[in-house]
Copies of this chain bind each other. A is one copy, B any other.
């Protein structure tokens, strides 16, 4: 549908981005925020055409896409506000102490942008984690130009969003290199982008194979760069004994919805449910099976995701000691993912790495543990996760504290008595986690703290006040929070 961006075009794009970087990074926080707010307005202005195009390309329903656009606009506006607050700059000031031996110089530090950021759009979030999505918003807030590699599964949607960003850039009189949009059907385009010497960071949301490849390319460069790849996870749910004895039915109903929401195409889909093998778990499974039976298959994002779902599901179900316990009663149409629940024993789960892998789609496997010792063994063996969930009463929490600690150690977000799907956009959100959930557990891709992926500290030593950035001047003209001689304050100095 779109021609691949040529090597010559890519080279020009990166030259333009580098040039724009030197203009954009000097703009004020307010100017960056104004640009982001202008993108939000232009996303709205893109109107119904944007929604209709995305519906055609992704099979996602209109309400979901309208909601996702609203979320994307909220991200742009709320990150803009956080950008402007300056809190994320980690401004630190230590004033000079002349009578120390040797004399202590005046030192002032704040975050500055890394440089051009390459963003790879996610197939499952055509707006919120694609062209003008979270990574792009964070990079613009940090002061970095952005080059988006359009996701081929929604390239036309991406074009429309790119046009909205370009209109916003024009509204704000920014150099054209502030944003670029490129296409590439093969991985060659991505490789060229990640390895280009003007690229200084990468943001990605998608598969393990894709993310790990970008990470490796980033590290193999002569000048390695940070690649933040969010690569999904199985988001284990631990059903603790007392909780499940009092709410097996409610929990099962809640989870049937979470597992099948958006045809299971969320990074936080609960893919593994771990319980103690007893009558309560039987009741949970029975209810879950009945619910899943009643949920119809639905079209997945694109044929590739559908094919992968069918293959991975089949591979897991054919493993020894795995039983299919529920499947939608409705026949699947073209590219429709069928809600499916499997079950296995903890022994089989612990022995077979394939059972621990993500099956991206409306699928979950229930792991029957003989006792809490086996549940603990599962918690200790699981790889890094975006989320983990404890379904637990207060008694459960008190009684099984070591499990709680083990689960905390493997994930980025720990949910009590809830579902992992539904990622709130706010400062306290952590959407990240130990490898292989992401390539760097120290950062998040949801919430304004994601800005820090694309910024680095610079310390100014012994600078005249008039040449310091406004953020670090004595008078604190921007009124931002700063740590002055170890105390957080908005006060001016002297």
Asked whether any CB of chain B lies closer than 8 Å to the CB of A114, the reply is: yes
B224 in contact with A461 (CB, 8 Å): no
- A87 CB to nearest chain B CB (Å): 7
Q: Which of chain A's residues 447-471 have a Cβ closer than 8 Å to chain B?
A: 449, 452-453, 455-464, 466-467
Q: Which of chain A's residues 246-276 have a Cβ closer than 8 Å to chain B?
A: none
- A236 CB to nearest chain B CB (Å): 15
- A339 CB to nearest chain B CB (Å): 21
A458 in contact with B430 (CB, 8 Å): yes
A86 to B312, CA, bound (A): 45
A408 to B459, CA, bound (A): 9
Chain B neighbourhood of A467, CB < 8 A = 394, 397, 404, 416
A460 in contact with B416 (CB, 8 Å): yes
A223 in contact with B87 (CB, 8 Å): no
A422 to B461, CA, bound (A): 11
Asked whether any CB of chain B lies closer than 8 Å to the CB of A210, the reply is: no
B456 in contact with A109 (CB, 8 Å): no
Closest to A397 in B: B467
A414 in contact with B483 (CB, 8 Å): no
Copy number in the complex reads: 2
Chain B neighbourhood of A416, CB < 8 A = 460-464, 467
Asked whether any CB of chain B lies closer than 8 Å to the CB of A413, the reply is: yes
The residue among A416, A417, A436, A452 with the most chain B CB atoms within 10 A of its own CB is A416
B219 in contact with A429 (CB, 8 Å): no
Given contacts A219-B219, A408-B112, A486-B82, contact A459 B87 (CB under 8 A): no
Given contacts A224-B215, A442-B456, contact A418 B449 (CB under 8 A): no
B-contact 0/1 string along A125-138, CB 8 Å cutoff: 00000000000000
Asked whether any CB of chain B lies closer than 8 Å to the CB of A440, the reply is: yes
A418 in contact with B461 (CB, 8 Å): yes
A413 in contact with B461 (CB, 8 Å): yes
Asked whether any CB of chain B lies closer than 8 Å to the CB of A428, the reply is: yes
Chain B neighbourhood of A415, CB < 8 A = 461-462
Given contacts A416-B461, A461-B414, A464-B416, contact A442 B429 (CB under 8 A): no
Listed A/B pairs (23) with beta-carbon separation below 8 Å = A25-B409, A85-B486, A92-B428, A104-B424, A107-B424, A108-B428, A109-B429, A109-B430, A114-B441, A215-B219, A223-B383, A223-B384, A394-B464, A394-B466, A412-B459, A414-B463, A416-B460, A416-B464, A416-B467, A430-B458, A432-B457, A441-B456, A442-B455
What residues make up the interface of A, taking CB atoms closer than 8 Å to B? 22, 25-26, 81-82, 85, 87, 90, 92-94, 102, 104-105, 107-109, 112, 114-115, 215-216, 219, 223-226, 383-384, 394, 397, 404-405, 408-409, 411-418, 422, 424, 426-430, 432, 434-436, 439-442, 444, 449, 452-453, 455-464, 466-467, 481, 483, 486, 488
* Contacts A412-B458, A441-B456 known; 17 new A-B pairs at CB < 8 A: A87-B483, A87-B488, A92-B428, A109-B427, A114-B441, A115-B409, A215-B224, A397-B464, A404-B467, A413-B458, A414-B458, A414-B460, A415-B462, A416-B462, A416-B467, A427-B486, A449-B457
